[in-house]
Chain A
Amino acid sequence: MHDQNGSVRIGVYICHCGSNIGSVVDCKAVSEYIATLPGVVVSRDYKYMCSEPGQEMLEKDIAEHNLNRIVVASCSPHLHEHTFRAATAKGGLNQYFMAMVNIREHDSWVHTDKRAATRKAQDLVRAAVARVAKQKPLDKARVDIDPKVLIVGGGIAGIHAALTLANAGKKVYLVERAPTIGGHMAKFDKTFPTLDCAACILTPKMSAVRAHPNITLWTMAEVTSLSGYVGNYDVQVTRHTRYIDEDLCAGCLECIAACVYKQAKVDDEFNEGLGKRKPIYLPFPQAIPQVPVIDRETCIEFKSGKCKKTCLEACGERHAINFKLEDKVENVRVGTVIVATGFQTVDAKRLPYYGYGVYPNVFTSLEVERLVNASGPTAGEVYLRDGKTHPKSVGIIHCVGSRDEKTNKWCSRVCCMYSLKLAHLLKEHTGAEIFNFYIDMRTPGKGFEEFYQRLLNEGVHCIRGRVAEVTDWALNPSEEGKLVLRVEDTLLGVVRRIPVDMVVLSVGLEPHKDAQEVRRLFNITCSTEGFFLERHPKLAPVNTFTDGIFLAGCCQGPKDIPDTVAQAGAAAAEAMALIDAGYVEQEPNTAYVIEEDCSGCKTCVPLCPYSAIAFREDKRKAEVNPVLCKGCGTCVAACPSGSLQQHLFEDDEIFAEIEGVLVHA
């Protein structure tokens, strides 16, 4: 029991944690027993070791008794390891000369037999005493943080995070896959429960993004690779061409007017296919950037090469249009990343019993958002699919692809409220009789329940029951030509048939279909349903398990606009906390290679979940990047030659611990 500090002098502290430990474990008996072990100079029990006096006692003992190792037996290291490490350091020792034993979660909380629990505590503490003698001093490494931030996704989450960071003077790269930023919010008509116009509150922020000197905006772009580690991520972004040079285009839109297609004939994505656009188009009037895009699939020049190219003539001297433009690859270095890639709505065709795609007058909620929108394909006139008839009755089905064993099990959180909003708007636009079919009316937000009451007062019918099917099967003449919703009204306790002209499916929110690819790209994790997983559901809701990568918005789970904006602000603040600190300290419990023993078998390289192990071809040896290593120990266990070791979990430390727990002194 000797090391560079001379003989080992250990101080051991058994915490009662009030009655949490003390009521089951005889802490005094444990400390008296531990005092008899070799190397133990001080052994005490104390009511609350984490309290100020507890910590001061520890610090004082180090000085008075010339201690050089500390063992604290109390709660989980998750809670107070840093507290006791700090106290150890304050007492003048290297903080890694402290070992912590969990006799609460691992002992007193899970046992009722006091004698056995006390014995178990003695065994566990004895193991720590044996282990701590072998522990070596370690230092935390520092990593500098590059102040630039990458934000992936230009919906309201990405926009808000970008503006927050840019206003604080940070340089931001905002990458968006679509030709314009704005995301889903740009498609909405009004927002619940205040009914303020979505475009009116969103478009000023979009323009601010475009104008901000600290924001580099890349639309039609995707992150194609990411490497490095917190503070130093190397990012490759592929910018797909729109065949119109953003720097040369003035946004006059003459080219669109001049297109050889006199009539717009292509289904318009922004209007959910309800409107038409030309092969050269601007997604919507307030799109940012205000630069048209050419769709290769439908443009005659790309299809046959024989177009008159009237768009080129219209552009004239600017020469912004160039059919030969190619995709561009940008390589940038950033310190932190905010992933704000959003969601997709459930494909209503997955629920064939609701008849979407079979009966023309079944609509999705996003389609109705465009129908009621003054700048939508019908200029705000709510027509049935024939384009001329107003509905006299509308059924809105909640929870389509939510709270459903067959599709998605989770509640999508926003559908009750947006369904009520659409009910209000449809009534306002058409005067139709509106039926909402709900399972539970979920209105847990500021002003939400009041909005629900308002809707009831407006005379919107709310029927509690999950709709069984939408059918055109008519039982009597009043149902002829109508869509019939069959539903069990669970408040009346009867099965009802409600004939309507129009059905709206309130589709739920789900992860993007390529969320798994994005997850791999950014080395983050997904929860079982496929949304990106936060580090802790309560205490680290915007962090991921990869340092320096944060989440914002619906890519982490369904949420409404206020929650999305709040989370985007939090993600920006987390990024800023790293940037303004300038560096991060790394835990030193990382793996390392003993080079003379490494045979270069490469077993460890693909096993590392954090891509922290590289193979040095020049030396034919594995090499661990301590900045990337999280200390999981996978490689250490797998190494056939034992050449991989891990700080704080060295073989001699672990063997001493095992011996300590097994050998009753």
Chain B
Amino acid sequence: MSEYAYFPGCSLRATGMAYEKSLLEVFRILGLKLNEIEDWNCCGATSYMSIDEDAAFVLSARNLALAAKQGASEVVAPCSACYLVLRKTEDYATRYPTIRKRVDEALQIAELPPIDWMKVRHPVEVLFNDVGVGMVKAKTVRKWQGGKLACYYGCQMLRPYYETDRPQDPIRMDELMHAAGATTIQWALKTKCCGGSLTGTIREVGVRLNEILIAEAVRKGAEAIVTCCPLCQFNLDAYQREMNGGRGYDIPILYFTQVLGWALGADRDKLGFQHSIAGGKVLKQWFPAREEVMANA
């Protein structure tokens, strides 16, 4: 059984609760063990990294050091922002002795061992490589009853590190969705900007960027968008009422683990659908409560 250190990050305990719930279910069903890093702290993402790089590296390194202390050699970070900053810390500390020195000094004060080579991984890539599309497909127990999906990858999982997928035209989440029995559309905006934190700072720009994504997905025939990052999911989900010239959209924005979890037979209540903002009606049709499944069967 594969075992990984698990770094949830702040999002998965707040706006991204559905991600954590469904992720844990999928990993449990597929026999992958996640050991949460004890006493983890902020990953050091965007605001820290842009204002005080040293602080970001040190914060991030503390999580890696804690994981190493737990005896892990690989850490799974489901949030793409966490994934990127942890991965960057590992990379920069290896490549630049000055950064390594500052990080090690800080860790010494905290009585932590110097960080050793720690592999930082995103769950899309873990499922694709360590389990494999074929195995996921073999373990599905529910037939997909939903509509066409648009897989949306965002940026931080793919650039500048591209171990998770092809950076320009990623495909692995699509393949995982196919394994779950769903059809996906091929569209040009898989990695275009979701607005990041602009929805909170320059709202009209942030919302416009999200509207571009939703409008194109709908134009191409998708009925829901599948994501793998809590910020992408939130941005796409929360502002739909303001779009489409005031008419709004009502498109479910799912985590890929929710679709996988459903296909793998997880209990509906454990996949976090109640946290969704948009697309409630569709969600009820696609993921009916257990009784209804029994009734249809």
Contacts and interface: CB of A to CB of B under 8 A. Distances in A.
Chains A and B come from one and the same complex: yes
A462 to B, nearest CB: 25
B188 A352 contact: no
Q: Is the interface of A mostly helix, strand, loop or mixed?
A: loop
A475 B212 contact: yes
Interface residues of B, number: 10
Contacts of A474: 216, 219
B169 A473 contact: no
A60 B20 CA distance: 96
Nearest to B167: A352
A472 B168 contact: no
A469 B168 CA distance: 10
A487 to B, nearest CB: 15
B187 interface: yes
Contact of A352 (B169, B187, B216): B169
B169 A358 contact: yes
A481 B166 CA distance: 26
A471 interface: yes
Contacts of B166: 352
Contacts of A472: 188
B209 interface: no
B253 interface: no
Contacts of B219: 474
B260 interface: no
B189 interface: yes
Interface in A470-510: 471-475
Interface in A86-107: none
Given A352-B169, A353-B168, A469 B212 contact: no
A471 to B, nearest CB: 4
A468 to B, nearest CB: 11
B188 A473 contact: yes
Contacts of A469: 188
Contacts of A473: 187-189, 216
A469 B188 CA distance: 10
Interface string A14-35: 0000000000000000000000
Give the residue among B169, B188, B189 with the most A Cβ atoms within 10 A. Answer: B188
A475 B215 CA distance: 9
Contacts, number: 19
Interface string A352-375: 110100100000000000000000
Interface in B168-210: 168-169, 186-189
Q: Is the interface of B mostly helix, strand, loop or mixed?
A: loop
A475 B188 CA distance: 12
A358 to B, nearest CB: 7
Contacts of B216: 473-474
A353 B189 CA distance: 11
B168 A471 contact: no
A500 to B, nearest CB: 15
Interface in B151-176: 166, 168-169
Nearest to B187: A473
Nearest to B189: A473
A96 to B, nearest CB: 52
A355 B188 CA distance: 9
A352 B158 CA distance: 14
Nearest to B186: A358
A352 B189 CA distance: 13
A498 to B, nearest CB: 15
Contacts of A352: 166, 168-169
A474 B187 CA distance: 11
Contacts of B188: 355, 469, 471-473
Interface string A628-650: 00000000000000000000000
Nearest to B192: A473
Contacts of B186: 358
Nearest to A472: B188
A430 B263 CA distance: 52
Nearest to B212: A475
A353 B186 CA distance: 14
A589 B87 CA distance: 56
Contacts of A358: 169, 186
Interface in A532-573: none
Interface in A191-224: none
A645 to B, nearest CB: 46
B203 to A, nearest CB: 21
Nearest to B169: A352
Nearest to A469: B188
Contacts of B212: 475
A352 B212 CA distance: 21
A483 B218 CA distance: 18
A411 to B, nearest CB: 23
A353 B192 CA distance: 12
B190 to A, nearest CB: 11
Contacts of B169: 352-353, 358
Interface string A460-472: 0000000001011
B170 to A, nearest CB: 10
B21 to A, nearest CB: 33
Contacts of A471: 188-189
Nearest to A475: B212
A472 B216 CA distance: 10
Nearest to A355: B188
B5 to A, nearest CB: 33
Interface in A445-472: 469, 471-472
Give the residue among A355, A472, A473, A474 with the most B Cβ atoms within 10 A. Answer: A473
A352 B186 CA distance: 14
Interface string B211-223: 0100010010000
Interface string B117-151: 00000000000000000000000000000000000
B34 to A, nearest CB: 33
B35 to A, nearest CB: 37
A47 B168 CA distance: 65
A471 B169 CA distance: 12
Nearest to A359: B188
Contacts of B189: 471, 473
Contacts of A353: 168-169
A353 B158 CA distance: 14
B188 to A, nearest CB: 4
A475 B208 CA distance: 12
A467 to B, nearest CB: 14
A471 B186 CA distance: 11
A473 B215 CA distance: 10
Interface string A220-264: 000000000000000000000000000000000000000000000
Interface of B: 166, 168-169, 186-189, 212, 216, 219
Given A358-B169, A472-B188, A473-B216, 12 more contacts: A352-B168, A352-B169, A353-B168, A353-B169, A355-B188, A358-B186, A471-B189, A473-B188, A473-B189, A474-B216, A474-B219, A475-B212
Interface of A: 352-353, 355, 358, 469, 471-475
18 contacts: A352-B166, A352-B168, A353-B168, A353-B169, A355-B188, A358-B169, A358-B186, A469-B188, A471-B188, A471-B189, A472-B188, A473-B187, A473-B188, A473-B189, A473-B216, A474-B216, A474-B219, A475-B212
Question: Which 7 A/B pairs are nearest by Cβ-Cβ distance?
Answer: A471-B188, A352-B168, A473-B188, A352-B169, A473-B216, A353-B168, A473-B189
